Structure 1
Amino acid sequence: MAKQFPQLEDAHRKFIEDQHMFFVGTAGAEGQVNISPKGMDSLRVLGPNRIVWMNLTGSGNETAGHLMQVNRMTLMWCSFSTRPLILRTYGTAQTLHVGDEGWDELADLFPHHRSARQIYDQSIEIVQTSCGYAVPFMEFQSERDTMQKWVDGKSDNEIRAYWAEKNGQTIDGKPTGVPV
């Protein structure tokens, strides 16, 4: 039932835009494989073979560390309502930090967020859809305000200190390249 495509088609783009969350999967050369759920208004499809997403401060920073080791990334969306569908994009990704060339242009695509840690720019090599028949129905209620409340209670220096303490290494002890 899985189908592969060389690029995103209009129906894929519409499906992505309709989802409230996505998942990112990465792995280094050794160690743990990471899969993280992402939400908020943090992803943009920029073309048939390009997706960018803004990564906000979190308790870990596996994606950044993995991409420093092995430049590959999978993004996945699944429908929790309407017709069942899973969509994945496979490719490579560039990591951008504040001050890097291209950061300002890409950051302007998103709502301003003081705890924006990286922007990932994925070059898509393969798009795959599959049935999603086993994905349960779930109803979206709202975005969480927990991240914004946390950020509002911190100064910029406190956010950077958190990055230094919690986000400088992967769980396997590899560097993440996060600026502090």
Structure 2
Amino acid sequence: MGVFYETIPKSMIKWILEQKVFWVATAPLSAVGHVNLSPKGGQYFGVIDERTFWYMDLTGSGNETISHLLEPGNGRATVLLNAFEGPPKIVRLWGQGRVLTNGTQAFSTFVDLHKVQTIPGTRSIIIVDIHQVGSSCGFSVPFYNFQEYRETLNDFFEKKDRKFKEGKVEESMDRYWAYKNAWSMDGLPGLPRAMEVGKEQNVAPIKKMVGPLALSRYHYGQGYTAAQVLLMVLASFLLGVAMTQYAPSLLSVGEKLATGVNGQ
């Protein structure tokens, strides 16, 4: 049976910190935007207090979470953790997410205050201000044995950082971010630093969606596509033609019916 809390129970914090992986879900405000779910592994997260969860955001080819959290009026985030060993348990943390971008004073202040050990490729610190916590059974989640953390991502950016320090300007993290992290797949602005460097150094962002459903720009509000708008215009036009053609007949029938009723 599910149980809800306004804050993280103290008895749950230790369990959260023991987990090896968790997921972060976000979504754009647009109805045609894509919901994103990102797995996070490694010992790069923490609980500041009963209302505040944070994790170190490592560089990746996508930046959907950042784009959704930075969208004006958005910021919604859900963190999911579940037990793969021991008693079954699922925990969800609902809240508003904040992005502290690497290179900003807010980022440096947080890192210093909480003694966060950053690594090459650290892109930002994500903070989730929690307003609801849910715990449920997780009886159907299978058992899995943890073996070890993957070092592939860390090794990749350590080599990239070393090449950059050796003088290869094209290996800079800023250029990588400008290429892959400047925009979301739906056309939402991404990492602010990536967008700035992209303009300064003329780095064209990667195209993230393909096929007929690929969006050329972000659709705000309900997110009606060009095809949907065209369909609505066509329907309105046909309705107007029909009303023009049949309105006199309908009015005549209405008058006759009214006359008949009054005559009775």
TM over 0.5: yes
Aligned counterpart, 2:153: 147
Q: Deviations over 1:24-44 (max 9, x none)?
A: 000011200001100112111
Matched, 1:22 2:22: yes
Aligned counterpart in structure 1 of residue 48 of structure 2, from 6, 26, 46 = 46
Equivalences, count = 180
Aligned match for 1:119, one of 99, 118, 125: 125
Deviation of the 1:59 alpha carbon = 1.5
* Identity in percent: 33
- The structure showing larger relative contact order (alpha-carbon pairs under 8 Å, at least 6 residues apart) is 1
Q: What secondary structure does 1:154 align onto?
A: helix
Give 5+ residue unaligned stretches, structure 1.
none
SS of structure 2 residue aligned to 1:113 = coil
Cα drift, residue 159 of structure 1: 2.1
Q: Which residue of 1 aligns with 2:78?
A: 74
Choose between structure 1 and 2: higher helix proportion. Answer: 2
Pairwise CA RMSD: 1.3
1:35 aligns with 2:37: yes
- 2-structure distance, mates of 1:105, 1:78: 31
* Aligned counterpart in structure 2 of residue 168 of structure 1, from 164, 182, 193: 182
> Where does residue 58 of structure 2 map in the other structure?
56
The structure that has the greater radius of gyration is 2
Q: Which 10-residue stretch deviates more, 93-102 or 24-33? A: 93-102
Deviates further, 105-114 or 11-20 = 105-114
Question: Of residues 101, 105, 121 in structure 1, which corresponds to 2:105?
Answer: 101
Task: Give the number of the structure whose residues are more often strand, by fraction.
Answer: 1
Structure 2 letter corresponding to 1:11:
S
Residues 50-72 of structure 1: CA deviation (Å, up to 9, x unaligned): 11111000120000001122111
Kindly state the Cα deviation for residue 105 of structure 1 after the two structures are TM-superposed.
2.9
Q: Which runs of 5+ in 2 are unaligned?
A: 165-170, 195-264
